């Protein structure tokens, strides 16, 4: 499975195990809130993942994980911290593999530029695959 596929899998898994705080009013305690209605169809990631993820609130999941983490992880700006938060390998080789998955055309030796591109691209791809991602994280 691709690195991006693992990111999707981790987010989907956390959405399915959402804490009671995300439950809809009047719902069964411990049950995750239903995904909000969205008029746009979930786009397929094509060769990257092969399947779209269910509608999940990416920001809520990652914020919740960050609050539970013993480390201070800035997932909003750092691809390394985002990967750590999802308990994925965030080493340079893994990020280079992610860059290949997402068809990065820049120089992978320039890890700072690659990391910035990766973070933006991951957020865009999550949104394209049905994830609820705030506009400021997709730009």
Query: Helix/strand/coil (H, E, C) string of 3-70?
Result: HHHHHHHHHHHHHHCCCHHHCCCCCCCCCCCCCCCCCCCCCCCCCCCCCCCCCCEHHHHHHHHHHHCC
Distance CA 131, CA 15 (A): 11
pLDDT score for 53 = 60
Q: What are phi and psi of 94, to 5 degrees?
A: -65, -40
Could you give the percent of the chain with pLDDT greater than 90? 65
Q: Which two tokens stand for residue 44?
A: 């397929």
Per-domain boundaries in the chain: 3-19+47-131
CA 75 – CA 85 distance, rounded (Å): 7
- For 13-70, how does the pLDDT look when each residue is reduced to its tens digit (9 = 90+)? 887 765 533 433 343 333 334 333 333 333 333 334 445 666 899 999 999 999 999 9
> For residue 54, what pLDDT is reported?
65
- Report, as an integer, the average pLDDT of 63-79: 95
Compute CA 83 distance to the chain's CA centroid, rounded to the nearest angstrom: 9
- 113: tokens are 């530029």
């Amino acid at each position: 499975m691709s690195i991006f596929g693992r990111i999707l899998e981790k987010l989907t898994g956390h959405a399915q195990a959402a804490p009671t705080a995300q439950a809809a009013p009047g719902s069964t305690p411990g049950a995750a809130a239903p995904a909000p209605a969205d008029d746009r169809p979930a786009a397929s990631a094509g060769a990257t993942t092969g399947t779209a993820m269910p509608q999940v609130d990416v920001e809520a999941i990652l914020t919740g994980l960050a609050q539970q983490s013993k480390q201070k992880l800035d997932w909003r700006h750092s691809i390394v911290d985002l990967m750590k938060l999802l308990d994925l390998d965030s080493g340079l080789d893994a990020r280079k593999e992610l860059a290949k998955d997402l068809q990065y055309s820049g120089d992978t030796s320039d890890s700072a530029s690659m990391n910035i591109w990766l973070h933006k691209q991951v957020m865009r791809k999550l949104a394209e695959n049905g994830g609820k991602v705030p506009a400021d994280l997709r730009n």
